[in-house]
């Protein structure tokens, strides 16, 4: 048998997903100087980059420039992108095993975590995941409608996603119109009647998951006053002791910012963004039509657990907060894929340092790997996926060195291309995507926006001159 | 980041031992799997933790140690954690109180053990990631 990883037989790797973890892994694989590697990357969408396109907020364009680094990876002649090709639909596990030495699943977290409280699924109660995907123009979510005629909205959770959602709801039309927010969202939000947005944290300000620049930005909005309640942002004894012992400067800074907001006199702007801490929603209250009418909140106090982590527990006191719309932003959750062992508890693929583990033997499955949010869970900024992907690639290289790779019967580039052509004749190449990208950017330039996004797959395919009815 | 994100990439196999097992067996398991600690379980409940350090400390005092039972050498007051624990807080506790392994429980169910190495690595990954992402932004500005 020819040595795998040479000119005669390159190491053939399939990567499922094209988000940050997929690109960081591809980059690290293609950088190996003593190995010849070929990477084929598949995404179910015609557009690459995962949550960089479909998650990162439209008013945070700078963060999206990370795609320049991904473009460089895609330039490598040993890299190919197959967009609009879905694992589990257009390609199966068996297809991949037949064509690749190694398979890397980097499919991110496609769903949302549930809170497990009554009324969670009432009309006008939405996961933040759906709202985010809608305003970012994800084709699967463009048809959604959010009742923005409501005046009062609650966002549950105080992570950075909750902050994004609250900020998007508070931006003025002029602020939004400078971004690449989906046209349907720009239009719907321009008619928004929202006056108050509540952000609800179950612990205190020192434990909030959001980061400092994100909270700071909320204090600088054109059309919204930011409000915090002095008693809720004052440091309790447990948090103070913890901050003093640990010297967590970032947490200290967040608390100071919020205490500053609590001291601010409102300027009478059009909207108010109100931070609440130490409250846990225990029920979404409905009206007689089954629509959201409010949230029942249990008030909490904090205590330090044995391991030093600060947790909340109910004091027994409750409060009803009248709101007409709820966004649950308590985290994303990974979805299973056919033929890939799944860990229900964490919502991740069953893995050890990125090697997929067989649930029966509890040993690694030869040739199968995972990286990013579907490997460790939905946590971390874009860059966090780099050390994560590198760890996985190191396992892949170690396994190659010991000959633990799949033995594909069709380890040539052309063969999989033929198969994809059969299964999904409208697949999108990286050059196709670059063409779409140019069109989006040109359409944006005309109106002073970074781009105007395609939000329908049919429109993307039509713009590429593909046969849409196929 | 939380402890659950560390557990998600760890082997599903948790090495345990009973309190009545001879210490020689504990040593054999530690050595075979190249690990530093075992959780001591009785009737599906965690009753202790035994580490390399516990064994060395005991051996220094009593060379006939290996005939003794695990329960005489283990640490019985085990500090445990939960999947929802904040990584930073756990790291601080492990450093200040000088222990290197933390069993993670959901109620009484043992989900896994995280070592200080795991926690430091995850924390480093988070910092590195933040730096990398910041850098991208600064380069764009500059
Ligand atoms: C709302 C939001 C805002 C964020 N903002 C920021 C920010 O401002 N700054 C920052 O640094 N980080 C931000 N993040 C975090 C960052 O987006 C993530 O860390 C990162 O995107 C995770 O990368 P990933 O590759 O694991 O997954 P993803 O980016 O989710 O990529 C997964 C890819 O897999 C594809 N896929 C899924 N299933 C299949 C299948 N069956 N077949 C083929 N392809 C499939 C998907 O279409 C997707 O393209 C944000 C996250 C969210 C949710
Ligand atoms: N600008 C940016 O850099 C940016 C933007 C968006 C996202 N991101 C990153 O993407 C990742 C995911 O963000 P995320 O906001 O989805 O997740 P996250 O950071 O994990 O935040 C989740 C929030 O939901 C709360 N929560 C969880 N369960 C709850 C419950 N049952 N009841 C009430 N509150 C509950 C959490 O509180 P507890 O802490 O008490 O559990 C936390 O406040 C993060 O790493 C984030 O930094 C970054």
CATH number at residue B52: 3.10.580.10
Q: Strands of A364-370's sheet, edge to edge?
A: A79-83, A37-43, A11-16, A102-105, A364-370, A355-357, A351-352
Q: Which domain holds residue B94?
A: 3-141
* Total of domains in chain B: 1
Q: Are B26 and B41 in contact (CB under 8 A)?
A: no
Q: How confident is the model at residue A434 (pLDDT cuts 50, 70, 90)?
A: very high
Residue A38, beta-bridge partner list: A12
Enter the tokens of residue A168: 């998007």
Q: Does A217 touch chain B (CB under 8 A)?
A: no
Q: Which residues of B touch A389 (CB under 8 A)?
A: none
Which residue in the set A69, A307, A353 is minimally distant from B90, CB to CB? A307
Tell me whether residues B132 and A357 touch, CB distance under 8 A.
Answer: no
Ligand sitting nearest the alpha carbon of A275: 2
Strands A37-43 and A79-83: parallel
Name residues 368-427 of chain A within 8 A of B (Cβ). 375-377, 379-388
What's the CA gap between A149 and A144, in Å, rounded? 15
pLDDT number for residue A247: 75
Least confident of A91-100, A222-231, B127-136: B127-136
Q: What are the φ/ψ torsions at residue A331 (nearest 5 degrees)? A: 120, 155
Nearest listed ligand to the Cα of residue A44: 1
B117 touches A at CB < 8 Å: no
Nearest CA to ligand 2 atom 15: A159
Instruction: Name every residue whose Cβ is closer than 8 Å to that of residue B89 and which is 6 or more positions away in sequence.
Output: A242, A246, A307, A308, A309, A310
Q: What is the pLDDT of residues A359-374, one digit of tens each?
A: 999 999 999 999 999 9
Residues with CB under 6 A from ligand 1: A 16-22, 42-45, 50-52, 55-56, 60, 63, 86-88, 106-108, 110, 132, 161, 164, 332, 337, 372-373, 380-382, 385; B 133
pLDDT at B63: 78
CA dihedral A84, A344, A378, A11 (to 10 degrees): -50
Quick check: B92 and A246 CB within 8 A?
A: yes
ipTM of the modeled complex: 0.89
Q: Hey, are the CB atoms on B140 and A65 less than 8 Å from each other?
A: yes
pLDDT at position A162, please?
Answer: 98
* Fold held by A11-110+334-463: Rossmann fold (3.40.50)
Cβ atoms of residues A340 and A107 within 8 Å: no
A433 assigned binding-site residue: no
Asked if residue A229 belongs to a known ligand binding site, the reply is no
The answer to whether the CB atoms of A309 and B1 lie below 8 A apart is: no
Contacts of A345 in chain B (CB under 8 A): 111
Mutate to test the interface with B, among A309, A388, A391 (most CBs of B within 10 A): A309
A287 pLDDT exceeds 70?
yes
CA distances (Å), origin A402, targets A3, A154, A228, A395, A407: 12, 54, 58, 11, 14
pLDDT in tens, B85-119: 999 999 999 999 999 999 999 999 999 999 999 99
Q: pTM of the prediction?
A: 0.96
- Asked if pLDDT for residue A386 goes beyond 70, the answer is yes
Nearest by CB to residue B85, choosing from A245, A309, A379, is A309
Q: Assess whether pLDDT exceeds 60 at residue A470.
A: no
Nearest to residue A11, comparing CAs of A139, A93, A104? A104
State how far the alpha carbon of A92 is from the alpha carbons of A95, A248, B15, in Å: 5, 47, 35
> Could you tell me if the CB of A158 is within 6 A of ligand 2?
yes
Q: How far apart are CA A138 and CA A283, in angstroms?
A: 30
Average pLDDT over chain A, rounded to an integer: 96
Judge: B132–A386 Cβ closer than 8 Å, yes or no: yes
Give the position of tokens 């996926």: A385
Looking at domain A113-331, its CATH class is alpha beta
Query: B100 CB contacts (<8 Å, ≥6 apart)?
Result: B36, B37, B51, B53, B94, B115, B116, B117
pLDDT digits (tens, 9 = 90+) for A185-224: 999 999 999 999 999 999 999 999 999 999 999 999 999 9
């Amino acid at each position: 048998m020819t040595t795998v990883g040479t000119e005669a037989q390159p190491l053939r790797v399939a990567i499922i997903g094209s988000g940050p973890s997929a690109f960081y892994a591809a980059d690290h694989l293609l950088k190996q100087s003593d190995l010849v590697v070929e990477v084929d990357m598949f995404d179910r969408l015609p557009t690459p980059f995962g949550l960089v396109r479909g998650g990162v907020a439209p008013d945070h364009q700078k963060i999206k420039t990370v795609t320049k680094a991904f473009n460089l990876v895609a330039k490598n002649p040993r890299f190919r992108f197959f967009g609009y090709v879905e694992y589990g639909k257009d390609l199966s596990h068996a297809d991949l095993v037949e064509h690749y030495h190694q398979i890397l699943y980097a499919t991110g977290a496609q769903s949302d975590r549930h809170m497990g409280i009554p009324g969670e699924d009432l009309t006008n109660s939405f996961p933040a995941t759906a709202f985010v995907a809608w305003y970012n123009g994800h084709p699967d979510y463009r048809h959604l409608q959010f009742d923005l005629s409501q005046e009062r909205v609650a966002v549950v959770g105080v992570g950075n996603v909750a902050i994004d959602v609250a900020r998007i709801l508070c931006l003025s039309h002029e602020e939004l119109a400078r971004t690449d927010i989906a046209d349907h969202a720009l239009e719907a939000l321009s008619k928004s009647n929202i006056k108050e947005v509540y952000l609800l944290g179950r612990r205190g300000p020192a434990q909030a998951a959001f980061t400092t620049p994100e909270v700071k930005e909320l204090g600088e909005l054109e059309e919204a006053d930011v409000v915090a309640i002095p008693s809720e942002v004052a440091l309790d004894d447990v948090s103070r002791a913890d901050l003093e012992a640990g010297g967590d400067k970032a947490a200290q800074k967040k608390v100071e910012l919020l205490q500053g907001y609590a001291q601010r006199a409102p300027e009478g702007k059009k909207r108010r963004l109100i931070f609440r801490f130490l409250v846990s929603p225990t029920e979404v209250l409905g009206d007689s039509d089954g629509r959201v009418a409010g949230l029942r909140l249990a008030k909490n106090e904090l205590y330090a657990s044995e391991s030093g982590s600060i947790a909340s527990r109910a004091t027994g006191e409750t409060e009803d907060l009248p709101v007409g719309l709820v966004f649950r932003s308590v985290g994303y959750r990974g979805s299973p894929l056919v033929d890939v062992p799944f860990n229900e508890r964490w919502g991740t693929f069953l893995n050890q340092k990125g090697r997929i583990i067989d649930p029966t033997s509890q040993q690694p499955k030869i040739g199968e790997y995972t990286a990013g949010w579907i490997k460790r869970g939905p946590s971390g900024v874009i860059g966090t996926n780099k050390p994560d992907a590198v760890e996985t690639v190191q396992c892949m290289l170690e396994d190659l060195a010991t000959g633990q790779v799949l033995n594909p019967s069709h380890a040539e580039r052309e063969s999989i291309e033929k198969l994809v052509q059969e299964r999904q004749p409208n697949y999108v190449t990286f050059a196709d995507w670059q063409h779409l990208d140019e069109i989006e950017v040109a359409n944006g330039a005309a109106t002073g926006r970074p781009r105007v996004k395609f939000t329908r797959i049919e429109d993307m395919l039509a713009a590429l001159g593909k046969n849409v009815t196929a | 980041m939380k402890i659950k994100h560390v557990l998600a990439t760890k082997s599903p196999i948790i090495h345990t031992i009973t309190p009545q097992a001879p210490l020689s067996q504990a040593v054999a398991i530690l050595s075979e799997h190249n690990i530093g600690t075992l959780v001591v379980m009785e009737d599906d409940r965690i009753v202790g933790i035994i580490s390399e350090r516990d064994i060395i400390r005991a051996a220094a005092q009593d060379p006939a140690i290996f005939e003794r039972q695990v329960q005489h050498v283990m640490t019985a007051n085990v500090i445990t954690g939960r999947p929802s624990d904040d990584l930073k807080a756990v790291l601080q506790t492990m450093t200040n109180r000088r222990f290197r392994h933390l069993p993670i429980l959901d109620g009484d169910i043992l989900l896994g053990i995280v070592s200080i190495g795991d926690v430091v690595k995850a924390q480093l990954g988070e910092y590195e990631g933040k730096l990398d992402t910041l850098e991208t932004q600064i380069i764009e500005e500059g």
